[in-house]
A = this chain, B = another copy of it.
């Protein structure tokens, strides 16, 4: 029933994470109602993503002339504090707090890498970076990894592996999220909230 041009776009939309077929169909019907010039610029903006580069220092995307991303290029940030995150969006979330003034390192999708044990490759890249740029020791490594089952295992591995590479290894605090209800907090969260009270 769908025209072929519609199906072509649908094939790509359904490859995107978190977009199901129904939502994709709705989005493409909406797109089809856009004016031609907007559609053309939208399509071209997607094609322009082919020119995006990955920072070899932290693995965040960028489009700078030189190799490094915006954050790794920023000399006002403390390069001896490295926050390790799972994915690019986590950097966005942390940066939006305006509390971070450090550099980052993306360790990669935890669940996928954990299965493939491939994150050791990234760990070794980080070790080499600390050796090369911080003479082997960072002031602080912040493990900004989500406190899930997988995340906790990875956090354990990273703490072990990077023990000699930082003066201090810290983790984000656990507790009751703002707006959360004590009644519905799980035991582990409550236990952490009690232990870390101040």
Residues of A that sit less than 8 Å from B by CB: 1-6, 8-9, 11-12, 16-19, 22-23, 25-32, 34, 36, 38-52, 61-63, 70-71, 87-89, 91-92, 95
Contacts and interface: CB of A to CB of B under 8 A. Distances in A.
A48 B5 contact: yes
A25 B38 CA distance: 20
Nearest first, the 5 A-B pairs at minimum CB distance are A43-B47, A43-B46, A8-B45, A36-B50, A3-B63
Contacts of A45: 5, 8-9, 11-12, 43
Interface of A: prevailing SS: helix
A63 B36 CA distance: 15
Most B CB atoms within 10 A — which of A4, A42, A88?
A42
A144 to B, nearest CB: 16
Contacts of A52: 3, 5-6, 32
Contact of A49 (B31, B61, B70): B31
A198 to B, nearest CB: 30
Nearest to A29: B88
19 contacts: A1-B92, A3-B62, A4-B63, A5-B51, A6-B49, A6-B52, A8-B48, A12-B38, A12-B45, A16-B31, A25-B89, A31-B46, A32-B49, A36-B50, A39-B46, A39-B49, A42-B46, A43-B47, A46-B46
A152 B178 CA distance: 41
A191 B48 CA distance: 56
